[in-house]
Structure formats: structure tokens, C-alpha cells
Structure 1
């Protein structure tokens, strides 16, 4: 896990440097020991292991250098930091290993064609056994540090030494075969192959090294090309998909730079989302991404979009307007996987039920074509003018309604200063919203009761009002009437 705090970064660098330095010292000791015994015994298997360890020494040095460079902070030339130096060093180690494989294969084939005497001594076997112990201890230490600090350079180094364990076992098997051949009749056909077991063991070592090299190389190239992060990307997309206010993840990109992951995402959010709510969406999206990639550096961009249901409802209104019918109370929702549209339609009162039903059927068929064949439309049919209302395109009628609302407000105890009145027509019905004022010290319970009573009175006197929204503000001018009931008691809601 990557911790961004300065203290944690210093501690992580100290631990990574210690692991890399220990690897260098161990590789140097093993290389010297294997080289000496290999030259003394003439074993190509041990000499190939010495060459392998020499490459490990070079790789360990590269890792040690890469770990130190990658810890440098970002600068103008490297805004994402220097973490990819670790990935580059892993690629260099891979190329060195491939070169080693080529040399081992060349020497092994030559010795298979022209065998050279090899001494299967206890010293050679002891060296390989000691090598296995050192490689096991070192690989566990490096892989643990790599996992803790998400370091591909340390991982490559650790896998090298884990590979050395298997290759050393193969060499031991080859030495054992040589020892077995010495106890057999030289004329036995089995001796012919046992004496070549050392070279065959070297080929087996090269095969193991080749397999690990290709694996490491692919990982390093993937990171250098910002590839191989599909699983993390899909995990982040799933994590942010269900966040409140998020309509969907429109783009998620992930890149790795050494131990640090960088994530940038574009989220579609509901149009009209406030700044505070948008900031909360960003915070939750960042936390969701870091749950998938701990310690990731996350950048979140929000793009306002219309909700799918809102777009469908707007399209439904456009369709109904084409039929020149009064529409109101449109309601669109999902029910058991089915899109359900409920609405009220006003038809001329002179029509018969059959004629009215035919017009509504035509409108419903058009709605289903526009909204999808799976949409179910339920229409409540009512005559025009069931609740006569002044037309809002008539200034005189609109003014008359404003005056009527103002009179009711003035009659309400404690209420004053009607302002911000908005009248919206829906067929023969009207929605009204406005502001008014009460004394600042008025208890909120009393203010609520008065607004409820005012709404009820407005609907009773003006039946064309289908919706009334009242916003009460404190009157700081001191002109609001005293509307408190006797003894300061609250009034029951109407």
C-alpha cells in the first residue's frame, strides 16, 4: 500500500533501500562462490549458475539505483514523479536475463556435442545447497518488500532469486546424475546420457530463466505503456456507479508509475447538482477508487447531464402538446421493470366518451412510439373547464389571480409582503409559488402551521390552483403584523 504522508514515504524508502542493498551483497557473495567452485569442478551447470548470479548482481545493482531514483519527488519535467524508473529497471533486468539464456544454451549445446570432463564433488553440491538457502531467504524478503511498497523493481529482483532456487535444484540433479554415472559400467548406454546430465541441467535452467524473463518483461512493458490495468479500471467503474448523484462513469483511466497509481475519471452527474453536493460526490468517488487501488492519486471531473427519466418526461410533454389537449400531473416512473406514464388529459366537454377515448388512444400510441414499446401509458380523461381558470397568456386574468392570492395572504395572521410570485399554467390548471414574510421570532412550528393553512385557503378559494409552494422569510423591517395566538400557543395545522 502506498502512503502519501512524508514520514511514511521516508520509512518506505529506507526499507526498500535496505532490501535492495541486502540483495546486492547476497548476489555478490553467491556469484563469487559459484564461480570459484564452477571453475574448479568444470561443471557447466554451476558455471551457468554463476553467470546467472552475476546477472542477478547486476540486476540487484540496477534495482538499488532505481529505488533511489524513483523516490525523487515530481518536478516540472516529471509531473507524475520518477516511479517509472523502477519499471524501466525491471525491463533492463529482463534483457540481461535473456542474454544469459542465450549464452547458457550456446555452451550447453556445444558440450552435448563435445562433452568435457566434469567433477561431481561434494563441494559443488554443498555450494548449490547453500545457494538454495540464501536464495530462499532473499526472495522472501524482496517479495515481501515489493508487496508492501508496490515496487516492481523489488518484485523483479525477488522473482530472480525465486527462480535461482529451482535452477539450483536442477543443477544439483545434474551433479547427482554424474555421481551415479561414475558407479556404473562405462559401456552402459545410460552412462552416455548421465555424463551429459550437466549440460541438460543447464538447458533446463535456461528454460526456467527464459519463462521468468518473458513474464517480467511483459509486466514492465505493460506498465511503461500504461496497459494491463483493465481489472483495476473495471473495479473502479463498479465502485463509483452506485454513488448518490452519479448517473454513470463516462471515462476511467488508470496508469501506474512505480509504486503509485494515478486515476482520472469523468462522472456524469445530475444537472443542477449544487457545489456542496458535487464536492461530496468527488470525495466519495475518490474514496471508492482508493478502496480499489490503495494510495492512488485520484482526479475526478464532473459533467452535468439530464437524468434519463427527466429527458423522457420532457419528451412526453412535447408529444402531448402536439395534440392540443390540456395536460397536467404527468408522472413517469419504473415499476417492476416497466416504464409507467400516468397523466391527466382534458378534452372538450362537447365530445362523447367514444370520441374522447379515440383521441386519447391516438395520443397514447404516439407516446409509446416515442418512449419505447415497453412503456405503459395510463390517462385520466376529464372535460376542459372542470375547474375554470384564467388563462395565463391573458395579462388581465393573471393580474386578477395575483390580486386574489395577495388578498388571502393579507388575511392570514402574521403574514405580509407577498413577493416573487410565479404562475405556471398546465392546461386549465395553474401552479403558484411565492415568498412572504413573518416576524423573525416566530416559532418555526407556528410558521409551518400558517403556511399549511394558507395553502388550504388558497386551494379552497381558487380551485384552479393545482399546486401551491410558499417560502417564508424573516421580516427584518419590523412591519410584519403580530400573528401569535393568545398565550403564545401554536395553532393546529389546517
Structure 2
């Protein structure tokens, strides 16, 4: 027996997330203006690399807005489970754009190391970058918090990218400041190159997270613990569970499990029990879609269709291929 067709989470929650993408777009435009001004004043390749990364931030924020808009659309006859995975494409594209920005920064840094130039107006230029970094840092914290709360990989990716930008700016401020103190102009290029390497590391992390989501990654361990705790509490000598599998798609969470009930139960009894089980599970994990398969507990065939890879529900002393024994 299967539960009714899956439904997507409250669409309003996902539509509301678009306001944070707009916030990211506005801040990206402001920081581009500020950092470009700082670069024009100082002629620092480090500040130029910082401005280039902010341009990538703007493109990423626009892509995030598009992804959140697509993910918020309701299910249709063609997309029966909705379009929540659109968020993973956004995160993957953002990771790729980070690589492009890093390549531009590193090439520019090498050229400037070979042909160093004196820096000018460092005081005002660095002050402008500090202001831009504070803006980015504040928005990054907001995006990371909201992304974790609503399980949005798009906002988490954008937040991580902005936080990387803050770290980048801090490194560049340090490098340019040391140039002013030491007079070694090539240090500006060295710092810019190091920033490019750091950006690549961030991009690899974003790509890994987005690709694992596209490949139906299982739910986090803390979600598994919540689910298995409910199933263990409902297990006794006459009723048990096995074959638990989970996956996530953007903000949506899915699980399927085999429910083994007394042989003499009617279809109505089994259906009523599953309805209560699903309500309890969704009460613990609101965005969870529950798929169940009802089987008679004493039928040997019920133990022959357990998936090769599944989440353990009971302790090590429990054999999922056999019915539970009566307690003494």
C-alpha cells in the first residue's frame, strides 16, 4: 500500500525565500561599485580581484533568484514531484562561476607579479573595501541562517560565497596594507594569487554539495534519528518496520519504509495505522513526504524485498529478515 501522491511543502515558504536573493543582488551591486572605485583609486590587482569576485556574486545572486522562483512552482502533470532540485543547479553553477573568477584573479596576479606597479591612495581605497566587506558579511550571515532554517542549498551556497568574499577582502586588506608598510609591490600580486586558490577550494565544496543532492543524497543523520526513533517506539512483537530509505530534493524530504502488520488485519486497519504513522512523522519533520509499503508480518515474502542499502532502524541484535519474537 502506498500513501497518497506526494505533495510539495508550503509553496509560500519557498516563494518568500526570493526576498533574500533580491537582498543579495542589491548588496552585490553596491559592493561592485565600492570595490571597483577602490581599485580605480589604488590600481591594486588585489582589489581588482576582489571586485571581480563581487561581479561573480551578482551573477550568482541572479541565478539564485531564478532557481528559487522555479523551485517554488507547484507540481504539474509533467513534474509530479515539483521542481525543488532546481536549487542544486543554482549551487552547481555558482561553484563553476567561482572557478572562472579564481582563474581570472590568478592570471592577473601572475602578470602583476612579473610587472609590478606602485599603489596609490591606499588609505581611502582600503576604507572603501572595509565598508563593502561589512555589507557582504552581514548579508552572508543572514543567508546562511535562513538557508539552514529552510533547508535551501541555494541560499546556503550564496551565503558561503559571500563569506568567502569577506575572507578574500580581509586577505587583500592585509596584503595591500603590508605593501604600504614594506614597499614590496609584488606582495599585492602574491596575496591576490592566494585569494584565487582559496576561492577554488570554496568552489569545490559547492560543487560537491550540489552534485550529491542531484544524486539523491540521503537525509542528514539527525533526521534519520528522528525517523527511526518514531519507528522503534511503534515496534513490538506484532508490528515492525524495515527497508527504510531516505532522500532530499532541495527543501523537500522523502522517505519510504516497509510496514509489517499482523496477518489478520483488514485493509482498513492497515490504512488507518499508516495514516497515523505518516501524521506522526510529518509532525516531527514538516517537509517530509512519507511513502509506505504494507506487508503481512508472518509472510516469508515480506522479508525478501528489503533494499540492499537501507537505514538501520533497530539495534544490532535485531534481524530485519525475520519477524520479531514474543517478549518472555
Q: State the structure with bigger RCO (CA 8 A, min sep 6), 1 or 2.
A: 2
Secondary structure at the aligned position of 1:112 is classed as helix
Q: Evaluate the alpha carbon distance shift between residue 170 and residue 333 of structure 1 in structure 2; reply closer, same or farther with a 3 A threshold.
A: closer
Q: Which residue of the partner structure matches residue 209 of structure 1?
A: 199
Equivalence for 1:78? 79
Q: Check the 8 A contact 1:236/1:288 in 2, yes or no.
A: no
**Alignment partner of 2:234: what SS?**
coil
1:9 maps to which residue?
A: 11
Tell me the CA shift for residue 14 of structure 1.
4.8
1:278 to 264, 270, 275: 270
Conserved in 1, the CA contact under 8 Å of 2:84 and 2:252? yes
The match for 2:227 is 236
**Structure 1, residues 329-377: CA drift from partner, whole Å, max 9, x if none?**
xxx9554xxxxxxxxxxxxxxxxxxxxxxxxxxxxxxxxxxxxxxxxxx
Query: RMSD value over aligned CA atoms?
Result: 2.5
- Decide whether aligned partners of structure 1 residues 104 and 78 sit closer, same or farther in structure 2, where only a CA change above 3 A counts: same
Is 1:218 matched with 2:208?
A: yes
What residue number does 1:252 align with? 244
Give the TM-score normalised by structure 2. 0.81
- 1:242 aligns to what SS in structure 2? helix
1:305 Cα deviation from its structure 2 partner: 2.0
SS, match of residue 265 in structure 2: coil
Choose the corresponding residue for 2:260, options 268, 278, 303.
Answer: 268
**Higher-strand-fraction structure:** 1
Deviation for aligned residue 1:5: 9.7
Deviations 1:421-450 (A, max 9, x none): xxxxxxxxxxxxxxxxxxxxxxxxxxxxxx
1:65 Cα deviation from its structure 2 partner: 1.0
CA positional deviation for 1:25: 1.1
Conserved in 2, the CA contact under 8 Å of 1:43 and 1:198? yes
Structure ID, larger Rg: 1
Q: Contact 2:31–2:54 at 8 Å: present in 1 too?
A: yes
2:21, 2:65 within 8 Å by CA — same for their partners in 1? yes
List runs of 5+ in structure 1 lacking aligned partners: 183-193, 309-331, 336-494
Q: How many residues align?
A: 296
Q: 1:279 to 1:67 in 2, by over 3 A?
A: same
Q: Is contact 1:241-1:247 (8 Å) kept?
A: no
State the partner residue of 2:34: 33
Distance 1:256 1:307, change over 3 A: same
**Mapping 1:94-493, distance limit 5 Å:** 94-119=95-120, 121-182=122-183, 194-229=184-219, 231=221, 232-233=223-224, 235-244=226-235, 247-290=239-282, 293-306=285-298, 335=328
Q: Match of 1:436?
A: none
CA positional deviation for 1:249: 3.0
Counterpart contact for 2:8–2:75, Cα < 8 Å: no
